[in-house]
């Protein structure tokens, strides 16, 4: 079925650059440019087999822009033997990687229960943020403020229109125009970002690497009955955040599939790979892995407030170790802290006066024991006097 | 003939067929925009370099937009046609911006259908003739519902070829 002008002008105007980039990457050649004075008004492109030439408008504000562009797309569709709407969708995402998260329900009727919608979209966003964080620095877990690059990524990547085919959430990751001459395909090294690529492309590559790594780790974990395989995949982008996001997508009857369609404007690391599918049992393992990896990584800038329950220092002056009873994720925990001499004296004072102690540090879990490393900004939090109430 | 197509549609189709025949004879393709487009009824496209009277066009694969009218009420005299054009059409044709040059084509036909197309085993004749003009840069006209436009150039296969040559020279804008 042909597309019509309102298909182009409806949601977002197609930029001439998008069209040119698509034609170029599809093997069309520019053969002529028509101008009106100093202004280029149209370009003629020849098909790869030279069977057809299309007249492509260059000025978005021209009155005939949408009509001519619709005509061009229909002509391109005839040449390529694909539906015009697919061509249009590809043009819109020529300069973007598209991540697809497909929730394949047993009913396969393309509908998603109301309650599941917000969860799936939130988990997909979390998945992308986890990949972006790993593209900056692979770690087992992320806490505190995200880096500027990750924040920028989350502001520029967006959800695209959903697709038929069970329920598909699309994330459109925009890429800048590629102005350098086309290069040969670059070698692929799993999990290693290529600094010459735009950051957003590094994120989608990391996403694919991490999702594959998570799947590998999960299947090994089920065989070995240990979550240790997940540690080995951290360098490939697997993190507690990524595992948690995937696990959140689980439901009784659904398979989750993740795939990436690479922008045509940039060299793809591999042809569009088969989707990576996660069944319910694998997603359950990922949920466990999220906790496992989360504990392996210190939580930076953790604010601890609690009462000193234990003091220990070797005879003489110098640093000592205290135990503070404080809240961690809603549960009361004993946290050990090594303090320098001055802070240790403050802790002693807090214990004597039965005042709470507040401090900031990096919370780490070793086995079943919590420790607060790099303690700083320690202060007493006196109990309010009766008269102050 | 029976109820069939409304009269206006019949005349539109006839005039389009007339222009398509001229374009085919001249070696150009014709396309119709999807959806109604107020200002353009047809696009004429050439493939490759256009040659006219031994001269090769500067740029290849020119395209030309047509707004097409059909009339039996207004007939040429002395090789000229005076045609009343709605003000909106007039303004659309004289202003820019567009992605290709645009012209007005008026096909003049006899009053009765049995006179417009004459068929025999030996030939098919379509009557009667078409005129063209460019209104680009024409003066602004106010307070009129219609503008009388003067057309004095017949549209023939050779004339269409000349027009496409001028487009490829970027002399017809």
pLDDT for res A25? 84
Nearest CA in chain A to B31: A71
3-state secondary structure of B69: strand
Q: Which of A103, A150, A117, A152 is nearest to A275 (CA)?
A: A103
Distance from CA of A41 to the nearest CA of B (A): 5
CB contact under 8 A, A64 and B37: yes
pLDDT for res A161? 75
Mutate to test the interface with A, among B43, B99, B101, B173 (most CBs of A within 10 A): B99
- All residue ranges of chain A with pLDDT < 70 are 10-13, 106-109, 163-166, 179-195, 252-253, 270-273, 385-389
CB contact under 8 A, B59 and A53: no
Over residues B17-26, the pLDDT tens digits come to 999 999 999 9
Q: Which of B70, B160, B73 is nearest to B107 (CA)?
A: B70
Q: Which helix (H) or strand (E) holds B171?
A: none
Select the residue of B34, B61, B97 nearest A63 (Cβ to Cβ): B97
- Contacts with A5 from chain B: Cβ below 8 Å: 33-35, 37
Q: Is B57 on the interface with A (CB under 8 A)?
A: no
Select the residue of B33, B45, B59 nearest A67 (Cβ to Cβ): B33
Q: Is A78 on the interface with B (CB under 8 A)?
A: no
Distance, C-alpha A374 to centroid of its chain: 29
pLDDT for res A189? 40
**Residue B144 or B40, more confident:** B40
Pair B30, B164: CB distance under 8 Å: no
**Residue A273 or B46, more confident:** B46
CB contact under 8 A, B99 and A61: no
What is the ipTM metric for this complex? 0.91
User: What are the backbone angles phi and psi of residue A272, rounded to the nearest 5°?
Assistant: -50, 115
Which residues of chain A from 46 to 65 reach within 8 Å of chain B, CB to CB? Answer: 53, 55, 57-59, 61-65
Over residues B63-116, the pLDDT tens digits come to 999 999 999 999 999 999 999 999 989 998 988 768 999 999 999 999 999 999
Structure tokens that stand for A193 in this block? 């970002």
- Contacts with B65 from chain A: Cβ below 8 Å: 64
pLDDT for res A185? 41
CA dihedral A301, A304, A305, A306 (to 10 degrees): -170
pLDDT for res A116? 82
Over residues A122-162, the pLDDT tens digits come to 999 999 999 999 999 998 989 777 889 999 999 999 998 77
Pair B108, B76: CB distance under 8 Å: yes
What pTM was computed for the model? 0.68
A55: how many CB neighbours lie within 10 A of its CB?
Answer: 22
CB contact under 8 A, B34 and A3: yes
The whole-angstrom separation of Cα B15 and Cα A279 is: 63
Q: Is A74 on the interface with B (CB under 8 A)?
A: yes
């Amino acid at each position: 079925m042909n597309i019509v002008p309102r298909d182009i002008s409806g949601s977002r105007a197609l930029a001439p650059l998008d069209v040119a980039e698509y034609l170029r990457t599809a093997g069309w050649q520019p053969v002529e440019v028509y101008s009106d004075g100093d202004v280029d008004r149209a370009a003629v492109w020849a098909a790869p087999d030279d069977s057809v030439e299309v007249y492509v408008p260059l000025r978005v504000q021209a009155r005939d822009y949408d009509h001519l562009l619709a005509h061009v797309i229909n002509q391109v569709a005839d040449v390529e033997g694909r539906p015009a709407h697919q061509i249009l969708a590809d043009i819109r995402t020529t300069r973007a990687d598209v991540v697809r998260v497909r929730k394949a329900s047993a009913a396969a009727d393309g509908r998603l229960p109301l309650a599941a919608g917000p969860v799936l979209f939130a988990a997909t966003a979390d998945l992308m943020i986890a990949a972006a964080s790993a593209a900056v620095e692979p770690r087992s877990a992320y806490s505190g403020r995200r880096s500027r690059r990750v924040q920028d990524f989350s502001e520029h990547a967006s959800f695209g229109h959903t697709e038929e085919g069970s329920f598909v959430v699309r994330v459109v990751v925009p890429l800048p125009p590629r102005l350098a001459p086309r290069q040969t395909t670059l070698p692929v090294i799993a999990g290693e970002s290529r600094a010459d690529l735009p950051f957003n492309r590094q994120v989608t590559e990391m996403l694919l690497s991490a999702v594959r790594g998570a799947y590998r780790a999960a299947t090994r974990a089920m065989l070995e009955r240990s979550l240790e395989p997940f540690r080995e995949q951290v360098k490939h982008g697997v993190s507690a955040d990524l595992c948690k996001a995937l696990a959140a997508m689980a439901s009784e009857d659904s398979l989750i599939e993740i795939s990436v369609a690479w922008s045509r404007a940039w060299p793809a690391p591999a042809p569009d790979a088969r989707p990576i599918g996660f069944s319910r049992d694998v997603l359950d393992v990922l949920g466990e892995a999220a906790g496992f990896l989360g504990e392996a990584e210190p939580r930076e800038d953790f604010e601890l407030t609690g009462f000193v329950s234990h003091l220990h220092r070797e005879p003489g002056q110098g640093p000592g170790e205290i135990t503070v009873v404080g809240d961690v994720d809603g549960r009361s925990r004993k946290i050990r802290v090594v303090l320098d001499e001055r802070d240790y004296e403050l802790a002693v004072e807090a214990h004597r006066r039965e005042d709470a102690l507040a401090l900031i540090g990096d919370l780490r879990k070793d086995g079943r024991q919590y420790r607060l490393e790099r303690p700083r900004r320690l202060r007493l939090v006196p109990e309010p006097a009766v008269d102050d109430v | 003939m029976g109820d069939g197509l409304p009269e206006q549609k019949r005349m539109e189709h006839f005039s389009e067929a007339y222009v398509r025949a001229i374009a085919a004879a001249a070696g150009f393709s014709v396309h119709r925009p999807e959806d109604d487009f107020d200002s353009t009824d047809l696009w004429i496209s050439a493939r490759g370099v256009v040659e006219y009277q031994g001269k090769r066009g500067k740029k290849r694969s020119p395209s030309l937009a047509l707004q097409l009218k059909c009339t039996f009420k207004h007939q040429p005299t002395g090789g000229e046609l005076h045609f009343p054009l709605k003000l909106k059409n007039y303004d659309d044709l004289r202003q820019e911006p567009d992605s290709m040059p645009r012209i007005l084509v008026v096909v003049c036909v006899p009053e009765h259908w049995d006179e417009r197309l004459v068929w025999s085993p030996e030939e098919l004749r379509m009557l009667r003739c078409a005129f063209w003009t460019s209104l680009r840069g024409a003066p602004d006209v106010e307070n009129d519902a219609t503008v009388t436009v003067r057309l004095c150039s017949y549209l023939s296969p050779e004339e269409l070829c000349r027009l496409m040559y001028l487009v490829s020279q970027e002399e017809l804008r």
